């Protein structure tokens, strides 16, 4: 009897080892994963190894990759070993509907299902494609599209509009918002739109392809609108500050000329809109697709078949989070109250005073 138990135990151990060996024997392949996630409660996308109190999206992703058997445990500890690269480092609280990460994995059976089984429901892998061995999702990405969902009372004029949730955006105000957003198109020096760059840093110059605000719609008695922006790449806090400055102008706290002024060398106090409404919508690989998309070996990085899954995820996890958090925590309303303490003129006035003194 004892021998029987021992034999069963040995057989089980051998079976488990066989499974592991089979995984080890699977060749590693370079792939991209299409990810969607709700960023509430996370300190952004990028993993901070050694600082476990700040949970990131990548912490959960790497854990799921290890548990599902796609990568060995030591690759989870040192992400360079699997050539891991994310397309965009989304900030704290920011969500994504079309994030792309590139990495080397073992292509196990039912890989997407197995990874998703080890992920919380507000993080999903929606698609997978094989890519060239040298592919790097950050370097090969030629543009990124973000959206920003905000309650329209953010555009209510401070002196002659109702400031509450009953506010409804009129056609003229929407046209003005779009006229101001269009000013950002082209290449400008955005050093005032991040805390990380000085005015003469060449990397502060960024190229914006389009920026506009769509028609408003009502959810749970609050009217919302979505701003879309497509650019080559963005710096930390750049989009939130671009939107924050337009809100300050439309509300009557700052003159229109401040947008042009902010691209100059002087320091301008640009307010940063809350992170809650920001969503990474999609990332673009136009050059890569032209070169490898139809070479017979690789497929273009387009996700038309996944569009429906993306839309369902947004309706289920991203929009309700933005709407409910706005209702409960009033992040936009509270932030709007801080606009009055921004000094939108000081730097220009100081410069004039300094010029006179020097003369």
SS3 annotation, 258-312: HHHHHCCCCCCCCCCCCCCCEEEEEEECHHHHHHHCCCCCCCCCCCHHHHHHHHH
330 Rama class: left (phi>0) / alpha (psi -120 to 50) / beta: left
Q: Distances in Å between the alpha carbon of 94 and those of 116, 259, 280?
A: 20, 25, 8
Sorted by sequence, the CB contacts under 8 Å of residue 237 that are 6+ apart come out as: 91, 193, 194, 195, 272
**In angstroms, how far is the first alpha carbon of the chain from the final one?**
103
Sorted by sequence, the CB contacts under 8 Å of residue 265 that are 6+ apart come out as: 199, 200
Token pair 């990131």: residue: 56
Q: Distances in Å between the alpha carbon of 168 and those of 163, 175, 222, 225, 330?
A: 10, 14, 9, 11, 17
Is residue 159 part of the annotated active site? The answer reads no
Please tell me the distance from the alpha carbon of residue 212 to that of residue 225, in angstroms, as a whole number: 11
Q: Is 42 marked as a binding-site residue?
A: no
Q: Distances in Å between the alpha carbon of 146 and those of 32, 142, 152, 231?
A: 20, 14, 18, 9
The active-site residue out of 15, 91, 109, 343 is: 91
Token pair 């066989």: residue: 18
Binding residue positions: 146
- Per the annotation, where are the binding residues for substrate? 146
Residues identified as active-site: 91
């Amino acid at each position: 009897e004892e021998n029987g138990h021992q034999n069963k135990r040995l057989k089980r151990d051998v079976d488990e080892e066989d499974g592991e060996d089979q995984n080890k024997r699977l060749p590693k392949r370079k792939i991209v994963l299409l990810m969607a996630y709700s960023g509430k409660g996370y300190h952004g996308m990028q993993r901070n190894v050694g600082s476990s109190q700040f949970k990131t999206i990548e912490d959960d992703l790497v854990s799921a990759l290890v548990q599902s058997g796609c990568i060995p445990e030591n690759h989870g500890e040192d992400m360079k070993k699997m050539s891991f690269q994310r397309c965009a480092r989304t900030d704290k609280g920011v969500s994504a509907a079309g994030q792309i990460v590139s990495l080397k994995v073992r292509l196990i059976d039912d890989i997407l299902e197995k990874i998703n089984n080890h992920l919380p429901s507000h993080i999903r892998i929606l698609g997978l494609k094989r890519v060239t061995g040298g592919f790097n999702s950050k370097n090969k990405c030629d543009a990124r599209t973000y959206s920003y969902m905000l309650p329209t009372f953010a555009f209510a004029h401070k002196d002659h509009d109702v400031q509450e949730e009953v506010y409804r955006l009129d056609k003229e105000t929407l046209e003005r918002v779009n006229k101001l957003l269009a000013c950002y198109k082209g290449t400008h020096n955005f050093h005032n739109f991040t805390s990380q760059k000085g005015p003469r840093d060449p990397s502060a110059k960024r190229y914006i392809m389009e920026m506009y605000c769509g028609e408003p719609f009502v959810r749970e008695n609050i009217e919302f609108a979505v701003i879309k922006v497509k650019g080559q790449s963005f710096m930390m806090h750049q989009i939130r500050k671009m939107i924050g400055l337009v809100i300050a102008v439309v509300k009557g706290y700052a003159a229109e000329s401040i947008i042009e002024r902010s691209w100059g060398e002087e320091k301008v106090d640009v307010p940063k809109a809350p992170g809650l409404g920001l969503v990474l919508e999609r990332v673009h690989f136009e050059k890569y697709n032209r070169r490898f998309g139809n070479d017979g070996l690789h497929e273009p990085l387009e996700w038309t078949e996944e569009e429906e899954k993306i839309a369902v995820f947004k309706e289920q996890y991203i929009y309700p989070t933005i709407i409910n958090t706005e209702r409960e925590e009033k992040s936009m309303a509270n932030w709007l109250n801080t606009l009055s303490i921004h000094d939108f003129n000081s730097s220009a006035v100081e410069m004039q005073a300094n010029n006179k003194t020097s003369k």
